[in-house]
Amino acid sequence: MTSTAALPPLAQRVLGSRLLASLTSPHGVDHYLRQINPMWAATDVRARVVDVTRETDGEHPVATLTLEPTSTWRGHRSGQYVQVGLEVAGRRTTRCFSISSAASLPGERFTITVRAHEEGIVSKYLVREAQPGLILHLSQAEGAFTVHESAATPTNNHLVMISGGSGITPVMSHIRTFLRDGYDDHAQRKITFVHYARSPEDQIFAEELREIAAADNGITVHLRYGPHLFDADELRLMVGGDYTDMDTWVCGPAGLVELVQEAYGDSPRLRVEFFKPPAFAKDDDAEGTLAFNLAGSTASNDGSSILEQAEAAGLTPEFGCRMGICFSCTSRKTEGTVRNILTGETSSLPDEDVRICVSAPVGSCAVDL
């Protein structure tokens, strides 16, 4: 049986030194440590699955996995996500998952809550086949869907949380952090939490939400099921005023997020996190050609992302989140200009590494694919 004891701090510092890294090149220290004990790491982050809780059944079941990380885990802030690498059939595949537990300190256990998508190799495995003892490869926590006020300090700020489907996971991380760190199980501020799900049977964290809704904790929970869509007038009644002046977090399907964005207009108080790739507008006036250097082929630039055009050309580039978060699809652009379809910014630098899932050619362009 593998020991769960972490490396002593001094040993971790020595093993993480540049000198030892150069001596163990090209594999690195962590490659050899992992052969001895997968929970020993100098710089890499890994985690052992210690519990799997099935949240919902049905066509797309959901499970919560409790992870015990290596001592190299730096902790996380509520609302962040982590890249999870899983080796299936000899190949490591990486995907991003929101952390659903309250904020963690270095080395502390945390949870991810995963919905099994039919096309998702990692999500299906984690939900349907993962068992305690499974080792996962992790990144450090990432993402800016965070709260910038202390949960332990009472304020008069009225916060609004809106989520749909499995987009509830980062929002629950916020709620759990407020309730854990607030005094006497109270969030220490007013929070309106609105969640949309297909049905009560598809409701993730159903029992916990019932308890939160029933308690005197400052949090008002509104659950909406079926075809019930986000309605700006309904939100105004829920919060009792102009919601555009309230700090708001929204996470869920692109359709929900777009409705909320439309309702908030240009309000800087709205923070957005997609859990599915947003629908990017395609430039129908695009011109030029897109050259795939390694494949030795070209295609007419149709204005969509480089990743979409590569797939349409029959190529199979690596990708992860398809929304510019995980960097799995980063490839070298050798010529031309690209537009970031999230921000609209353009770049014409030669030999530039770009995320091809959120980069579209502006005119002719060449990439190492």
CA distance 262 to 45: 39
pTM here? 0.77
Q: Identify residue 10 by its one-letter amino acid code.
A: L
Q: What is the pLDDT along the chain (369 residues), one digit of tens a residue?
A: 445 566 677 667 666 676 666 666 656 777 777 778 888 887 889 999 999 999 998 888 999 999 999 999 999 999 999 989 888 777 777 888 999 999 999 999 999 999 998 777 889 999 999 999 999 999 899 888 999 888 888 899 999 999 999 999 999 999 999 999 988 889 999 999 999 999 999 999 999 999 999 999 999 999 999 887 899 999 999 999 999 999 999 999 888 999 999 999 999 999 998 765 555 667 778 899 999 999 999 999 999 999 999 999 999 888 776 777 667 788 999 999 999 887 778 999 888 889 898 899 999 999 999
The CB density around residue 154, as the number of other CB atoms within 10 Å, is 14
The single residue listed with the structure tokens 């594999």 is 27
Give the model's pLDDT for residue 19.
67
Q: What is the pLDDT of residue 104?
A: 96
- Confidence (pLDDT) at 214: 97
Could you give phi then psi for residue 54, rounded to 5 degrees?
-80, 120
Q: What is the dihedral of CA 198, 203, 204, 208, to 10 degrees?
A: 150
Q: Are 106 and 167 in contact (CB under 8 A)?
A: no
Structure confidence at residue 326 (pLDDT):
65
At 103 the three-state DSSP class reads: coil
Number of Cα atoms under 13 Å in the Cβ half of residue 154: 7
Which pairs from 197-202 meet CB under 8 Å and 24+ separation?
197/164, 197/165, 197/223, 197/224, 197/225, 198/165, 198/225, 198/226, 199/225, 199/226, 200/225, 201/56, 201/57, 201/58, 202/56, 202/58, 202/165
Kindly report, residue by residue over 294-331, the tens digit of the pLDDT.
999 999 999 999 999 999 999 988 877 677 766 778 89
**Helices 206-214 and 168-181, axial angle in degrees (round to 10):** 40
pLDDT of residue 4: 54
Distance linking the first and last C-alpha atoms of the chain: 43
Which single residue is written with the structure tokens 């359709």?
A: 255
The secondary structure element, H or E, covering residue 248 is strand 248-252
The DSSP code sequence of 267-300 is -TTEEEEESS---PPP-TT--SEEEETTTTEEEE
Angle at the Cα of 35 (from 33 to 36), degrees rounded to 5? 65
257 phi-psi bin (left φ>0, alpha ψ -120 to 50, beta other): alpha
Angle made by CA atoms 195, 196, 198, in degrees to the nearest 5: 145
Model pLDDT, residue 6: 66
pLDDT the model gives residue 254? 84
Looking up tokens 């029933």, which residue turns up? 214
328-350 pLDDT tens trace: 788 999 999 999 887 778 999 88
